[in-house]
Amino acid sequence: MQPHKCAMISVVTDYDAYILRENTGTSGVVLTAQTAAGTLADHLLAHLVIGGVAVQEHGYPRVTTDVDLVVPDVLEAADVLTANLSGPLVPVRGVADRIQDQRNGTMIDLLPAGRVMKQGCKVPFPQPTVASDHLQIVRLEDLISLKLDSWANTPLHRLRDKTDVIELVVRRRLPRDLAVASVVQHYYLEIWDGLKAEQ
């Protein structure tokens, strides 16, 4: 069955994202994400998809090769995901919050709900509330807030995060008063006003 666009964001539905993954050979990313979601759901553990897959699902079809999952407890989620010794998900040696899918090499980064990405960041990862085998995609406002926070903290290394925000604003025709986190609102307004001035 072919994915289709719809208003829900609890499952992967964006048709342009589907076409991108098919044409770039990165469909395995969603297979990996769905495997992880199903395994977590079997243990009543909630998750949220952020990062590149969430960007794709919110309307900017750009390539990504890994999965970023926010979970309530990183170590518990890692144990659950790698408990089946026959795979397909295995731990990455020396990295407690990273899992690899042996089927396609896709990496899963587990991120702690309620904490920030790194020292200096101000926007905490949202708290997942739904344990489901369907991918739970982070709200657009939260995604943009996390992207702006990451970019502002490391502007050269995380330039893609700013680009993601710009593309989402343009493609989704987002309003100037989008409810992003207050600590990054000035960055959002600068981007929005800059884009408006260039029209």
Which three-class secondary structure state does DSSP give residue 180? coil
pLDDT-derived band at 11 (thresholds 50, 70, 90) equals very low
Inter-residue contact 127 to 109 (CB < 8 Å): no
**Model pLDDT for residues 49-84, shown as the tens digit of each residue:** 999 999 999 999 999 999 999 999 999 999 999 999
The CATH class of the 15-198 domain is alpha beta
Q: In the sheet that 89-92 helps form, which strands lie side by side, from edge to edge?
A: 48-50, 66-71, 107-112, 95-101, 89-92
Domain extent listing, the chain: 15-198
Which residues lie closer than 8 Å to 2 by C-beta, 6 or more apart? 15, 18
What mean pLDDT comes out for the span 28-51?
96
Which residues lie closer than 8 Å to 85 by C-beta, 6 or more apart? none
Give the span between the Cα atoms of 190 and 187, in whole angstroms: 5
Give pTM, 2 decimals. Answer: 0.89
Give the span between the Cα atoms of 169 and 195, in whole angstroms: 9
Q: How far is CA 137 from CA 55, 95, 153, in A?
A: 9, 25, 24
Give the span between the Cα atoms of 39 and 25, in whole angstroms: 24
Say whether pLDDT at 12 is over 80: no
Position 153 scores a pLDDT of: 92
Position 13 scores a pLDDT of: 62
**Model pLDDT for residues 120-179, shown as the tens digit of each residue:** 999 999 999 999 999 999 999 999 999 999 999 998 899 999 999 999 999 999 999 999
